[in-house]
Amino acid sequence: FTWQAGARGEMQDIRLADGSGLARKETTPSVSTGLVWNLSEGWSLNSSLARTERSPNAQELYSNGPHVGTNAYEIGDPGLANETSVALDLSLRKRTGRITGALTVFSNRFDGYIYEQPTAAEQDGLDVYTYAQRDAELYGAEFEAVLHLHEGADQRFDVQLGGDLVRGRNTEDDTDLPRLTPARARLGFTWARGPFSARADLQRVASQNRVSPNESPTGGYTLISASAGYRLVLGRVTYDLFVRGTNLGDEEVRLHTSFLKEVAPLPGRNLTVGLRTSF
């Protein structure tokens, strides 16, 4: 068994320079503890429990205008209290053998969770978002595994599997939290032999229909990417020649976590050829 513990203290002092005299000074403590249990050769069970406290920042307290980076009109709340959370994580890990990976589950309960809530209003042609504070909970799971199908002196071939899922609820109003990552699954292949390497990835992102009030759902999509490279070492200089293709299926991809999903999807099919040197 290995025990771990940590503590952190933060001091924050905000003073507006607009002549209003508004100011706020806070000191917030956080503590955590963890346990690593080595079950057997290569296997371990990990747990952590943390209580954290955070003061609202200047944007959350005093915003009142357009934010060009998010294409939103943001309105803060000077009355926001400190945000407190209690988080529990449990992980089962395997680090040796033909198959390695980890399975993690987590739960995080918030007293006074602070987030930007979309409204149905518009100001100066921008959607209005207000900073809200509610008790909330987030929970989910993450899985990753690597199948080491072949490992030789000069060659290897691996298959990667993974996925994650998160849910978040406003427990006061019994509604979903905004901009939550949808469920995702991943499959990847990696091959390397001497100076040559290649990789291919397939990611499936589910649609997100668990939305907060005044938030629109987002469709699912599949991302396909591939890359290949060649490494040349000459003396102290390393040259990496690579070719990489992303979104090879030319899918329309809108990130549910983005404020700009309605106006700015991710790029379509993309091809990059490059040479990188390090010395």
Residue 19 clears pLDDT 90, i.e. is over it: no
Tell me the sheet residues that pair with 23: 15
What is the model's pLDDT at position 186?
A: 98
**pTM (2 decimals)?**
0.88
Q: What residues have CB less than 8 Å from 52, skipping those under 6 apart?
A: 30, 32, 84, 85, 87
In the chain, what is the straight-line distance between the N-terminal and C-terminal CA atoms, in Å?
A: 42
Identify the band that residue 259 occupies on the pLDDT scale cut at 50, 70 and 90: very high
DSSP string covering 229-249, please?
A: EEEEEETTEEEEEEEEEESTT
pLDDT, mean of residues 172-197: 96
What is the model's pLDDT at position 120?
A: 87
Residue 18 clears pLDDT 90, i.e. is over it: no
Per residue in 116-162, pLDDT (tens digit) is 999 989 999 899 999 999 999 999 999 999 999 998 888 999 999 99
Q: What is the DSSP letter of 89?
A: E
DSSP string covering 7-58, please?
A: EEEEEEEEE-SSSS--EEEEEEEEEEEEEEEEEETTEEEEEEEEEEEE---H
Q: What residues have CB less than 8 Å from 68, skipping those under 6 apart?
A: none
d(Cα 103, Cα 189) in Å, to the nearest integer?
20
Q: What is the mean pLDDT of the chain?
A: 95
Task: Return the sign of the alpha-carbon dihedral for residues 232, 238, 243, 245.
Answer: positive
Task: Return the sign of the alpha-carbon dihedral for residues 58, 59, 62, 66.
Answer: positive
Inter-residue contact 115 to 168 (CB < 8 Å): no
Identify the band that residue 21 occupies on the pLDDT scale cut at 50, 70 and 90: confident
Q: What is the 3-state secondary structure (H, E, C) of 120-154?
A: EEEECCEEEEEEEEEEEEEEEEEEEEEEEEEECCC
What is the model's pLDDT at position 68?
A: 87
What is the model's pLDDT at position 52?
A: 97
What is the model's pLDDT at position 122?
A: 92
Per residue in 31-90, pLDDT (tens digit) is 999 999 999 889 999 999 999 999 999 999 999 999 988 899 999 999 999 999 999 999
Biggest distance spanned by C-alpha atoms of the chain: 69
d(Cα 138, Cα 125) in Å, to the nearest integer?
33
Residue 185 clears pLDDT 90, i.e. is over it: yes
